[in-house]
Chains A and B, each alone.
Chain A
Amino acid sequence: MTDARHIETERLILRRPDAMDFDKWAGFKASTRARMAGGMQCRAEAWRSFAHMVGHWTLRGFGWFVVTGKDEGRSLGIVGAHFPEGWPERELGWTIWSADDEGRGYASEAARAARDWIFGDLGWSTAVSYIAPQNTKSIRLAERLGARHDPDAPQPHDAPCLVYRHPAPEVPR
């Protein structure tokens, strides 16, 4: 089991999810924005997916962080390392919960920090991002991060998506 993790960037703090994050998560999963991030869910389903994120940390020693703005302390979304049973390989993922918080580079800042942690502390040799084909913003971000579409990579069987592979850690970014 890994100790509590806490990553700081210029504008953001990445921390492990806690009970206080659930209402915000449930609100996001009830919104149409969740369609491109695992699907919309009622509150009971959202509890299960939220608890899954929390338990994933215990089982794997890594997982999703809640991304929080340093200035207001407001939670903005999630970013992290995800590898549930049934997934072909380990993922670097990101989601900004509200359209109001998009377009400010938060996802990019958080994803870069999480990827450094994944390749550095966790020592992964590769990472993919699974992205819904209609999620053009995420595709653009993946490309800005240097990830490339990998048409040969297997997809999670329950979530057909595009697979973007990140540059291996030894390649200068």
Chain B
Amino acid sequence: MTDVPVLTTERLTLRAPRLADFEPYAAFFASERSVHEGGPLDRVQSWREFATAIAAWTLRGYGVWSIEDRGTGAYLGETGLFHPDYYPEAELGWTLIHEAEGKGFAHEAALAARGWAYDIAGMATLVSYIAPANVRSIRLAERLDARPDPDAVRPEHDPCLVYRHPAPETLR
């Protein structure tokens, strides 16, 4: 497996997901709050999601990080790059557990993940797939200067909005 890089921001550590993260992850996906992220999911389904996302580091050389509070070490959620075979391109995604919402953590984490994708992994573009009703994520995508890309190919059978992030050269 590719060594997962550790990214540090002002308040957060982004590090490799591990087994201990599964409990808060599964609890989030068991709740109604996960409705825009494909939930709610039972524990068996959550396990498969979690394991599948982690596998990207091995299969693609990039993937998802678990977000940790630098101060307390608490698990806050996931962010990173999703690119299963059935996605037309790589996606920057984010999911915060309920307790971590409303503090700008997702913004801070997604910025760090995007920076790594562009500057270290050398990716040329990124999209975020967002459920049309997911107002919070749409707001975050806009704060990240991503814009709707109506011409982008969507994952099959997924009626999501496609937000395209600014190209790396425009951020330098």
Interface residues of chain A, those whose CB is within 8 Å of chain B, are 1, 4, 18-19, 22, 43-44, 47-48, 50-60, 84-86, 158
Question: Can you give 26 A-B contacts (C-beta < 8 A)?
Answer: A1-B1, A43-B85, A43-B86, A44-B86, A47-B84, A51-B52, A51-B53, A52-B48, A53-B55, A54-B51, A54-B58, A54-B59, A55-B50, A55-B51, A55-B53, A56-B51, A57-B1, A57-B58, A58-B16, A58-B57, A59-B19, A60-B19, A84-B51, A85-B22, A85-B46, A85-B47
Closest to A87 in B: B44
Count of B interface residues, CB-CB < 8 Å: 27
Q: Mark B37-55, 1 if CB is under 8 A from A, else 0.
A: 0000001101110111111
The answer to whether A51 touches B59, judged by C-beta atoms less than 8 angstroms apart, is yes
The answer to whether B56 touches A59, judged by C-beta atoms less than 8 angstroms apart, is no
Q: Mark B45-82, 1 if CB is under 8 A from A, else 0.
A: 01110111111111110000000000000000000000
Q: Taking the complex as formed, is B139 at the interface, i.e. its CB lies under 8 A from any CB of chain A?
A: no
Task: State which of A1, A22, A158 has its C-beta within 8 Å of the C-beta of B44.
Answer: A158
Q: Taking the complex as formed, is B156 at the interface, i.e. its CB lies under 8 A from any CB of chain A?
A: yes
Q: How many angstroms from the CA of A54 to the CA of B1 in the assembled complex?
A: 9
In the complex, how many angstroms separate the beta carbon of A64 from the nearest chain B beta carbon?
A: 12
Known: A52-B52, A59-B19. A19 touches B85 (CB 8 A): no
In the complex, how many angstroms separate the beta carbon of A54 from the nearest chain B beta carbon?
A: 4
The answer to whether B58 touches A19, judged by C-beta atoms less than 8 angstroms apart, is yes
Q: How many angstroms from the CA of A1 to the CA of B17 in the assembled complex?
A: 11
Main DSSP-derived SS at the B contact region: helix
In the complex, how many angstroms separate the beta carbon of B84 from the nearest chain A beta carbon?
A: 5
In the complex, how many angstroms separate the beta carbon of B89 from the nearest chain A beta carbon?
A: 15
In the complex, how many angstroms separate the beta carbon of A6 from the nearest chain B beta carbon?
A: 14
In the bound complex, residues from chain B placing their C-beta under 8 Å from that of A57 are: 1, 58
A47-B86, A84-B51, A85-B44 known, 12 other contacts, Cβ within 8 Å = A18-B58, A22-B59, A44-B84, A47-B84, A48-B48, A50-B55, A51-B55, A54-B59, A58-B1, A58-B18, A59-B19, A86-B43
In the bound complex, residues from chain A placing their C-beta under 8 Å from that of B22 are: 59, 85
Known: A43-B85, A43-B86, A47-B84. A55 touches B44 (CB 8 A): no
In the bound complex, residues from chain B placing their C-beta under 8 Å from that of A85 are: 22, 26, 43-44, 46-47
The answer to whether A58 touches B55, judged by C-beta atoms less than 8 angstroms apart, is yes
The answer to whether B84 touches A51, judged by C-beta atoms less than 8 angstroms apart, is yes
Closest to B85 in A: A47
In the bound complex, residues from chain B placing their C-beta under 8 Å from that of A158 are: 44
In the bound complex, residues from chain A placing their C-beta under 8 Å from that of B51 are: 51-52, 54-56, 58-59, 84
Q: How many angstroms from the CA of A60 to the CA of B55 in the assembled complex?
A: 13
| Residue from A18, A22, A48, A84 with most neighbouring chain B CB atoms (10 Å) | A48
Closest to A45 in B: B86
In the complex, how many angstroms separate the beta carbon of B47 from the nearest chain A beta carbon?
A: 3
In the bound complex, residues from chain A placing their C-beta under 8 Å from that of B57 are: 58
Known: A19-B59, A51-B52, A55-B53. A84 touches B47 (CB 8 A): yes
